[in-house]
Amino acid sequence: MLFYYLLPGKTMKKLFLLIAIAAIVTSCSQTSELTKSENDLEVFLEKIEKDNLSEGPVVSSAYWIGSNFITHDSQNIVADYSKRYTLKSLENSRIASSFNDLKTSDSNRRKLELLKSSFVMPPPFDENLASELSSISTKLEAMYGSGEYCYEDGSCYDLEAFEQIIDNSRNPEDLLMAWNGWHEIGKPMKPMYMRMVEIGNQGSRDLGYSGLDDLWFSKYDMPADEFLEETDSVWEEVKPLYDALHCHVRSKLNDYYGDEIVSLDGPLPVHLMGNMWGQSWSNIYDLVYPEASQTKSVNVTQIIEDRNINEIEMVEYAEDFFLSIGFEPLPDTFWKRSLFVKPQDRSVVCHASAWNLDPSNNDLRIKMCIEKNEEDFITIHHELGHIFYYQAYNHLPTLFQGGANDGFHEAFGDLLTLSITPDYLNRIGFISEDEAELAKNDSIGLLMKQALEGVVVIPWALMLDKWRAGVFTGEIGKDELNQAWWNMRESYQGIAPPSERSEQYFDPGAKYHIPGNTPYTRYYLARIMQYQFHESLCNEMGFVGPLHECSIYGDKVAGEKIISTMAMGQSSPWQDAFEKLTGSRNISGKSVMNYYKPLKDWLDTQNNNRICGWE
C-alpha cells in the first residue's frame, strides 16, 4: 500500500502560516474583496515549493519514526506534526481558493486544484478540532499497529501471529479462533472513528465540498457522479468472471469441509478463505485446484526456502526486474534505511508501504515485515513499483510529485506481478527452461492462482469505499455500521462472517485502511488498469501468444513507455497519462476478461449443473 499523506504534494508540502482561526475566517472574507494578480500567484506557489523542499523531509521522518517505533512519545510527536501541518494545508487551501477567478496557465491552475483537494480527512478551520482530529487519527493507527488479543491462558496474538493461522491452517476451529481474535481489536475504535468522520465532514464543507464523499470522489478529473458510474460499469464487465470463480471455489470448499460448514448455495465463510479479510484466496489454491498436485506448477515459496534466500535478496530480485527494463538502480540509502524484517524489540506497523521521504535527495524506503514466501515475493515487486514511480517523477515540482491519479501508483505496482511468469522465473534462475515449459502446459493452474488474488480483490476493493461513502453521508447510521458492512460484503463478494456479528463489533476496524484512513478506490482502479497496461505493453512489444504468458522483464521498449508515463507524475489529467500508455482514455474490464479467458471457459464447464450465485 502507499501512504499518500506522506507523499510530496500532499499534507506535508503546504506552506505553514500559524494563524488563529478567527484570523483565518476573517481573512477569508477579506481576500474575496481583493484582486489577485499573476504575480501574487507566482509568489504563493514559489513559497510553497521552497517550504515543501525544506520542511517535507522532516515531517516525513516524524511519520517514519511513528510507524517504526510505536511508543507514547512517538505518537505524541506524530500527532503534533499532523495537527500543525494539517493547519498549514487548510490555510493553503483557503489561499488557493482566493485565486479561483484569476486567469492563469493550465499548470498553475492544476497546482491550485491539487492544493484544494489534497485532503483525506480535513478538519474545520478550528485549531481545537484540528488537534482532536489529529489525535484520533494517530490513536486509531497506533491501535491497529499495536493490536493484539490475549486469551485466558495468557497467550497473546498480534496480527502476524493470527495471520500465520489463517494463512496456513485447515482446522475450522483454529481458523475461527484466529479470525474472531483479530476482529476484537475493532471494538474500541468505533466511537473514535465516528467522531473522526463527524469532524472530517465539517472540514470538507468548510472547503466547499458537500461532505467527505464529495471530497474523496472529486479528484479524478471528471465529475464525481460520472466517475462512479464508470467504475460500476467496469465491475459489470468483470462480474461474470468473479461469479464463475466464486461458484467453483464454493463447490470445492464444500467438498473439503462439508455441508455444515460450507453450503452449496450460500455465501462463503470468510474465515476459511486463507486471508484475514477474504480479499485473497490464493492460500487455498490447493483446495480449489487439486489438479495442481498432478501438474508441474511452480512453488515459489518452496524455492525460496530450499535456496535459503533471505529477505534482502528477495528485494534484490525485485530491483533487478526494474533494472532490466531501463530504470536506474536504487540508492544506497534505500538499503540502509528501509525496514525489511520485523524487529524483535518493539512494535511497528507491519503493513507493507513505500515511502518517498526526501525527493530532492532520492531518500526512498520500504517498510515491510517480510516473510519468506511467494506472497511477499510478489508484494515486494509491488512496493518497488511505488519506489520506482517516485524516482521517475521526483524531478517535477513538488505539487506534481504524485500518481496521475491515486490508482496509478497501485496499478504500476500490480503491473509487475503479471510478469512473474514461468519464463520470468526461468530467466532469474528459479526454475529450468524445461520446468517453465511444464508449468506453462497447465495454463488453468497458472490463471487460477492469479485469479484467486487478482480477480477476487476487485469487488472487495469496490465495496470498501462504498461502505465508507455511506458512513460519510449518513446513509449508514452509527447503529448499523457492522450490519451494513456485512450486507455489502455479501452483496458484492458473496462472503459472510462465520457467525452473527452484532453492533458491539466494529469489523471494518480490523482492516488497516479504515483506521489508517487510506482511500481504497485506488486499489479497484489499479486492479482494472494493470491489465490494460499489461495488454497494451505486450502488444507494443509485439508479443505473440496467450496474454498471461507475456512478461515485460528485460524489454526496454516496455520500460521506456512505463518510465515516460511515470515521469508525468500528476502534472496532467490522469486520462492523458493513461492514453500515453494504453492509447485509450477510458478504463475497461475487457483486458481482465481477455487475460483470464481460458480460465473463464474452463470454469463455465466445471460449473455446469452446479448452483451458482448466493442468497
**pLDDT tier at 2, thresholds 50, 70, 90:** very low
Q: Is 556 helix (H, G, I), strand (E, B) or coil?
A: helix
Choosing from 271, 382, 409, 548, which is the catalytic residue?
382
Top-confidence residue, 1 or 140: 140
Least confident span in 83-92, 206-215, 418-427: 83-92
pLDDT in tens, 371-411: 999 889 999 999 999 999 999 999 999 999 999 999 999 89
Contact 532, 587 (CB under 8 A): yes
- Other residues' Cβ atoms within 10 Å of the Cβ of residue 398: 24
pLDDT in tens, 251-296: 999 999 999 999 999 999 999 999 999 999 999 999 999 887 666 6
Q: What is the mean pLDDT of residues 488-499?
A: 96
Instruction: Tell me the DSSP string of 531-552.
Output: HHHHHHHHHHHT--S-GGG---
pLDDT in tens, 572-596: 999 999 999 999 999 999 999 999 9
- Other residues' Cβ atoms within 10 Å of the Cβ of residue 396: 18
| DSSP for residue 269 | E
Least confident span in 35-39, 360-364, 444-448: 35-39
Q: How far apart, in whole angstroms, are the C-alpha atoms of residue 202 and residue 20? A: 18
On the question of pLDDT at 329 being above 60, the answer is yes
Q: How far apart, in whole angstroms, are the C-alpha atoms of residue 430 and residue 545? A: 23
**pLDDT tier at 11, thresholds 50, 70, 90:** very low
Nearest to 304 by CA among 215, 431, 408, 475: 431
Of all residues in the chain, the percent with pLDDT exceeding 90 is 72
pLDDT at 205: 87
Of all residues in the chain, the percent with pLDDT exceeding 70 is 94
Cα 253-257-263 angle, rounded to 5 deg:
65
Largest Cα span, the chain: 77
Cα 606-417-146 angle, rounded to 5 deg:
100
Choosing from 183, 248, 513, 548, which is the catalytic residue?
513
Q: How far apart, in whole angstroms, are the C-alpha atoms of residue 359 and residue 420? A: 29
Choosing from 523, 524, 595, 596, which is the catalytic residue?
523
pLDDT at 293: 65
Active site residue 152: no
pLDDT in tens, 458-467: 999 999 999 9
3-state helix vs strand vs coil in the chain, percent to 5: 65, 5, 35
- Other residues' Cβ atoms within 10 Å of the Cβ of residue 290: 12
Choosing from 91, 410, 453, 535, which is the catalytic residue?
410
Q: How far apart, in whole angstroms, are the C-alpha atoms of residue 247 and residue 607? A: 7
Residue 547's φ and ψ, nearest 5 degrees, are -60, -35
pLDDT at 70: 86
Q: How far apart, in whole angstroms, are the C-alpha atoms of residue 566 and residue 390? A: 8
pLDDT at 81: 84
pLDDT at 295: 65
Helices (H), 98-188: 106-116, 127-145, 159-168, 172-183
Least confident span in 91-95, 562-566, 590-594: 91-95
Domain chopping of the chain, boundaries: 4-143, 224-295+403-408+445-615
Mean pLDDT, all residues of the chain: 90
Q: What is the mean pLDDT of residues 4-22?
A: 32
Contact 135, 123 (CB under 8 A): no
Active site residue 72: no
DSSP lists the bridge partners of residue 157 as 149
Contact 585, 597 (CB under 8 A): no
On the question of pLDDT at 432 being above 50, the answer is yes
Q: How far apart, in whole angstroms, are the C-alpha atoms of residue 404 and residue 411? A: 11
Q: Is 610 helix (H, G, I), strand (E, B) or coil?
A: coil
Nearest to 301 by CA among 292, 314, 290: 314
Does this model's pTM top 0.95? My answer is: no
pLDDT at 297: 73
**pLDDT tier at 417, thresholds 50, 70, 90:** confident
Active site residue 395: no
Choosing from 127, 141, 374, 383, which is the catalytic residue?
383
Using the CB atoms, write b or e for 168-184: b if 16+ within 10 Å. ebeebeebbbbbbbbbb
On the question of pLDDT at 570 being above 90, the answer is yes
Active site residue 490: no
| DSSP for residue 151 | -
Q: What is the mean pLDDT of residues 40-51?
A: 95
DSSP lists the bridge partners of residue 339 as 367
Choosing from 246, 351, 381, 534, which is the catalytic residue?
351
Contact 118, 9 (CB under 8 A): yes
Q: What is the mean pLDDT of residues 330-340?
A: 96
CA atoms within 13 A on the CB side of 186: 24
Active site residue 183: no
pLDDT at 31: 40
DSSP lists the bridge partners of residue 496 as 269
Q: Is 2 helix (H, G, I), strand (E, B) or coil?
A: strand
Choosing from 62, 352, 439, 526, which is the catalytic residue?
352
Active site residue 271: no
Q: Which three three-digit cell numbers place residue 198?
A: 463527524
Active site residue 352: yes
Cα 605-442-168 angle, rounded to 5 deg:
90
Contact 556, 326 (CB under 8 A): yes
DSSP lists the bridge partners of residue 365 as 355
Q: How far apart, in whole angstroms, are the C-alpha atoms of residue 547 and residue 476? A: 42
pLDDT at 122: 86
Active site residue 132: no
Report the run of H or E that residue 363 belongs to, with start and end.
Answer: strand 363-367
